[in-house]
Amino acid sequence: MTCSFKVLNESYGARLGKITTSRGIIDTPAFMPVGTGGTVKALLIDQVKSTGAQIILGNTYHLMLRPGIERISRVGGLHQFMNCDLPILTDSGGFQVMSLSKISKVTDEGVAFNSHIDGKKIFISPEISIQIQKSLNSDIVMIFDECPEYTKDKNRVESAVNLSIDWAIRSKKEFGVNKDKMLFGIVQGGIFNDLRKDSLNRLLEIGFDGYALGGLAVGEQQNEMFEVLDNIKDNLPTDKPHYLMGVGTPADILGAVKRGIDMFDCVLPTRSGRTGLAYTWSGKKNLKNAKYANDDTPLDPIVNCQASQKYSHSYLNHLVNSNEILASILLSWHNVAFYQDLMQKIRVSISNNDFENFYNKHFDILNS
């Protein structure tokens, strides 16, 4: 089956679309729960699916180190290994190599680094990254890129752009012709608008099925991220999906949708859930706080999830402060469901040509 993308409507800069894959439809704007190591932390895949999620994300770097690609490919790929029939996008591992590993050397050929788990020396190149993602049998494959840390050193960022373009060419060559999968390029350039546009133009010359914006959500302020999006949104191809990697808070997502972004991923829903934080339509809540001790109302009855509707603030406050495992499960489930509810309501507002009102009603509350 040939993968495809189609824009169905636009409203106030936001795009309603549909990605078709061999494993199912992905309605956009879409949020991808992060299943870094073959699991969306604290959740069964059936719980993830119950939230309305239509795609999840896996990570080449983490799966390569543990459990190892051989164990996953032996059963046919990541879908079979983790019992997931949803489409899966795999990150190439470039960001994790740069952020988690003790790097020995970055060369034109690739990156030699020490595993953050056991210190073992490992080498990964664009070719190896694509080969691993093929073995994982993911539906959307990301090129291998160099993602520098947040910096205002333009020379450092420009060097990363140039290297990432070389690696993009090699990634596409290794990917070959594969009509039942999609290959996304990754735009780098930090907070420098001219470097971003140069990176995008060179990726467009190579040609990809979608275009991701990397190197954001790495320490810059929200207004800096939005400025980058404002300056590149009109240059992104209208017939391809736009993916903002690693973003973000509900307000980040709402602001990015306004700027034409179609796809998101972030660890925040589950990571926050494991630390007692809940995202709701009335804002973020820290369930550790004593003010919830005698609050018998449900966490967020608007969200169509058992964790949101059937458990009180008081009970969740007790679980969190008692370090009960169930706290992580319920709050992670709720947060993923809230993010999916947010995306569904965004899509409805775009379909109804009412995204501007939706944005104005919710942005400040979600950004508090």
Catalytic residue (one of 91, 139, 145, 341): 91
Q: Counting beta carbons within 10 angstroms of the beta carbon of residue 34, is it exposed (0 to 12), middle (13 to 18) or buried (19 or more)? A: buried
Catalytic residue (one of 198, 209, 252, 265): 265
Q: Which two tokens stand for residue 106?
A: 């970055």
Give the CA dihedral 80, 84, 85, 88, nearest 10 degrees: -100
Determine whether 296 is an active site residue.
Answer: no
Determine whether 91 is an active site residue.
Answer: yes
Length of the chain: 368
Three-state SS string over 248-302 comes to CCHHHHHHHHCCCCCEEEECHHHHHHCCCEEEECCEEEECCCHHHCCCCCECCCC
Quick check: 327 and 319 in contact, CB under 8 A?
A: yes
Looking at the annotation, which residues are catalytic?
91, 265
